[in-house]
Amino acid sequence: MLPMHRRRFIILVGGAATVWPLGVRAQQLTGKMWRLGILLPGPHESSMGSATRNRLRELSYTEGRNIILETRWAQGIPQRLDELAAELAGLNLDAIIAYTTPAAIAARKATKTTPIIFLFVGDPVGAGVVPSLAHPGANATGISLLATELSAKRLEILLEIAPNTSDVAMLWNDTNTGMVLRAREAQDAASKLGVSIQSNGVHDLVDFAPVFASIEGGRSNALLTLVDPFTSQHRKLIVEFAARRRLPAIYEAERRAAEYVDRIFKGTKPADLPVEQPTKIEMLINMKTAKTLGVTIPQSVLLRADEVLE
């Protein structure tokens, strides 16, 4: 069985909250200045990677004291990832974190020796990033988003919160190949649950206005967002829209990359770290926002919540 990691589903009725499990703090590190590369597909102002930085601090890795972060942004231009990955590979780094399938592929092409930790990769085996999840081999490992039951679970929770929902608007980055499978899973789950999914693809900031207008003019009464670096970068815009439209919404988040970095820095080889898949769901409910918008969270959902924000 693959190692377990937790993903939090954040139920927000138009509001935002970020709460993370702390885990066990690593032993204080001294005498070594680690060098970590971070390869991001989005722009410099993107907040993607901030959760990993926060978790690294909790594990006693402090920038300028015992770790140097070399971050490269592709500015939303996928063609730049190969060039940036090659640049990072030439810096004699201790590890590289690659966000999304294209970044992971670029990093794997750039180096066969530097440890690579990937995130937001929908199907790492199918994409050729690793030969198998249990035995990734070579120098890459990380977290796979491949877990069909999660789409159904998110939709089930949405339907409990908004029992009259018949149509769900799905927002996702339609240029991210790793999200294609996730979107298909959501469509299949919706069919089994007896609701319709209205797929709304976005991949540029200008896409949001017409997509939001389409959702407002349609029948959707709930919002499902598939999280990748692009949608995460614009999560404030999405959350504000959900609040304005009074749409029950569900999001997801994770920051397990720091644990991989910590273990690799302590001597574990990437080939010995199986690729993780979500096996435990934690649920956080934003009650303050729900009350503001007049949405009643059923007791059946509250009893299953891991944390409730009042």
CATH no. for residue 221? 3.40.50.2300
Cα separation of 118 and 105, whole Å?
Answer: 9
Q: Which amino acid is at 22?
A: L
- Cβ proximity of 170 and 215 under 8 Å: no
Q: Is residue 278 part of a domain?
A: no
Residue holding tokens 């199986």? 274
Do both 97 and 179 map to the same domain? Answer: no
**Intra-chain end-to-end CA distance of the chain, in Å:** 37
Compute φ and ψ for 291, nearest 5 degrees: -65, -40
Residue 59 maps to a domain: yes
Please give the tally of structural domains in the chain: 2
Q: b/e map of 182-195 (b: 16 or more CB within 10 Å)?
A: bbebbeebbeeeeb
Q: Do 179 and 232 reside in the same domain of the chain?
A: yes
d(CA 125, CA 274): 12
Same domain assignment for residues 295 and 163: yes
Name residue, tokens 């015992």. Answer: 66
Specify if 67 maps to a domain.
yes
Query: What's the pLDDT at 302?
Result: 84
101 and 56: one domain? yes
On whether both 23 and 124 belong to a single domain, the answer is yes
Same domain flag for 71 and 168? no
Helix (H) or strand (E) holding 296: none
| Residue 8 forms part of a structural domain | no
Is residue 193 within 8 Å of 5, Cβ to Cβ? no
User: Using the 8-state DSSP alphabet, how is residue 273 labeled?
Assistant: S
Mark whether 27 and 173 lie in a shared domain.
Answer: no
pLDDT score, position 66: 95
Distance from C-alpha of 254 to C-alpha of 120, rounded to nearest angstrom: 9
89 lies in the same domain as 224: no
Please tell me the predicted confidence (pLDDT) of residue 279.
62
Q: What is the mean pLDDT of each run of 10 residues along the chain (310 residues)?
A: 48 39 39 92 68 88 94 88 97 95 94 94 86 93 73 81 89 81 86 92 90 93 84 85 86 78 95 83 75 78 81
Task: Estimate the share of the chain in helix, then strand, then coil, as percent rounded to the nearest 5.
Answer: 35, 25, 40
Domain presence at residue 194:
yes
Q: Give the range of the structural domain holding residue 172, as residue numbers without chain letter.
A: 148-252+285-309
* CA angle at 190 for the pair 185 and 196, rounded to the nearest 5°: 125
Is 40 a member of any domain? yes
Residues 184 and 37 both lie in one domain:
no
Is 161 a member of any domain? yes
192 domain-assigned: yes
What tokens were used for 184? 């298909």
- State whether 135 and 268 are in the same domain: yes
Q: Verify that 99 and 42 share a domain, yes or no.
A: yes
Whole-number Cα distances in Å, 257 to 84, 145, 149, 265? 20, 13, 22, 12
Instruction: For residue 300, give both structure tokens.
Output: 């059946």
Considering the domain architecture, whether residues 127 and 189 belong to the same structural domain is answered as no
How many residues are recorded in the chain? 310
Q: What pLDDT is stored for residue 255 in this prediction?
A: 65
Residue found by looking up tokens 């829209």 in the block: 241
